[in-house]
Amino acid sequence: MNITLRVWRQKGKADEGRMVTYKVEDVSPDMSFLEMLDVLNEKLTVSGDDPIAFDHDCREGICGACGVVINGVSHGPEVTTTCQLHMRSFKDGDTIDVEPWRAKAFPVIKDLVVDRGSFDRIIQAGGYISAPTGTAPDAHAAPIPKTDADRAFDAATCIGCGACVAACPNASGMLFTAAKVTHLGLLPQGQPERAARVVKMVNQHDEEDFGGCTNIGECAAVCPKGIPLDTISQLNKDLLGALATGNL
């Protein structure tokens, strides 16, 4: 296949960026999207041009490092991570637009690489259970109904890639925040900090300049891990409960 790429190039944080067009020839349909970029980068390097910078690591869809907006959709046309997207999802002769996640809370560092430190700071604000090493009771001390454990697990599969923010018209980080609130809030171990957690995490979310939730569900629709939209409802419920009981 032959592909035309329009890629966002931006030298550094403070520089202006622009879309640049590249041709990539002899693309195998079995290549992953990132391998196609590798091939382009090899060519650019040999000809003395700066290769395109993009984040990636495990390339098996679990670390959450990779992620670009492809033809306007986070992670592209399949609901999966960019590293698990393969070129067979495109046609010979296609023009593909490749852009970084765009949000105030995710400033571009270079080309397609953005700074997602804001997500870490949301977790720092309260996305944990305080259980210092060595203080734990026996693992069987508190049985957890399977349905709760499963739902907590589903929420806990979030990989923190940021696709939800990139897809949200308001650049809200609510699905990410809600996934953690739901994961920890459903477990008995998470109860003591439940009310304080949701308030602190939402405050941090707002402080990081994420937008408010639109409730339109674009986030869940592009989530490679299928984090359901109702986790945001769960977060709202917890938040209202917390506010009602005076956790401000």
Partner 1 sequence: MTELYIEGDPIRDEKAPEGPIEQRWDKRRFSAKLVNPANRRKLSVIIVGTGLAGASAAATLGEAGYNVKSFCYQDSPRRAHSIAAQGGINAAKNYRNDGDSIYRLFYDTVKGGDFRSRESNVYRLAQVSVEIIDQCVAQGVPFAREYGGLLDNRSFGGVQVSRTFYARGQTGQQLLIGAYQALERQIAAGSVEMHTRHEMLELIVVDGKARGVIVRDMVSGEIETHFADAVVLASGGYGNVFFLSTNAMGCNVTATWRAHRKGALFANPCYTQIHPTCIPVSGDYQSKLTLMSESLRNDGRIWVPKEGGDTRDPREIPEEERDYYLERIYPAFGNLVPRDIASRAAKNVCDEGRGVGPGGLGVYLDFADAIKRMGRSTVEAKYGNLFDMYQRITGENPYELPMRIYPAVHYTMGGLWVDYDLQSNIPGLFVTGEANFSDHGANRLGASALMQGLADGYFVLPNTINDYLADGPFEKVDETHPEAKEAADSVRERIDTLLSINGTRTVDSFHKELGHIMWDYCGMERSDEGLRKAISRIRELRDEFWQNVKVTGTNEELNQALERAGRVADFFELAELMCVDALARAESCGGHFRAESQTEDGEALRNDAEFAYVSAWEFAGTGQRPVLHKEALEYEYVEMKQRSYK
Partner 2 sequence: MALKSAMAVTGLVLVLFLIAHMYGNLMIFGGQEVFDNYSHHLRELGEPMLPYAGTLWIIRIVLLASVLIHAYSAFVLWARAKRATSVGGQRYHSSKNRTGVQRSYASFTMRWGGIVVLLFVIFHILHLTTNNIAPGGPSSSPYERVVHGFQIWWVVLVYVIAMAAVGFHLRHGIWSATQTLGQNKASRQRTINLVATAIAVVLTLGFLVPPFSVLFGLVG
Whichever of 65 and 198 has its CB closer to partner 2, that residue is: 198
Among residues 7, 24, 56, 100, the one that binds partner 1 under rule CB under 8 A: 56
Name the one range near partner 2 by CB under 8 A: 24-32, 46-54, 102-110, 122-130: 102-110
Instruction: Name residues contacting partner 2, limited to 108-167 (CB under 8 A).
Output: 108, 167
Query: What, of partner 1, partner 2, none, does residue 247 touch, CB below 5 to 8 Å by kind?
Result: none
Nearest-approach distance from CB 23 to partner 2, in angstroms: 18
The helix-helix angle for 174-185 and 117-126 (nearest 10°) equals: 30
Q: How many CB atoms lie within 10 A of CB 39?
A: 16
Q: What is the CB neighbour count within 10 angstroms for residue 132?
A: 6
Considering only residues 174 through 193, tell me which ones interact with partner 1, judged by CB under 8 A: 183-184, 187, 189-190
97 binds partner 1 (CB under 8 A): no
Kindly indicate which of the ranges 148-156, 167-175, 215-223, 234-242 contains the residues binding partner 1, using the contact rule CB under 8 A.
148-156
Tokens of 22: 């590249």
Yes or no: say if 173 and 93 are a contact pair by the CB < 8 Å rule. Answer: no
Site string for partner 1, 33-52 (x = CB under 8 A): -xxx-xx--x-xxx-xxxx-
The whole-angstrom separation of Cα 105 and Cα 38 is 28
Residues 160-219 that bind partner 2 (CB under 8 A): 167, 169-172, 202, 206, 209-218
- For residues 71 and 204, give the distance between their C-alpha atoms in angstroms, rounded to a whole number: 31
Q: Are strands 17-24 and 3-10 parallel, antiparallel or unpaired?
A: antiparallel
Helix axis angle, 194-207 relative to 117-126, nearest 10°?
A: 150
Separation of alpha carbons 5 and 96, rounded Å: 5
Per CB under 8 A, residues contacting partner 2 are 6, 8, 16, 19, 69, 71-73, 97, 99, 102-105, 108, 167, 169-172, 202, 206, 209-218, 221-222, 228-230, 232-240, 243
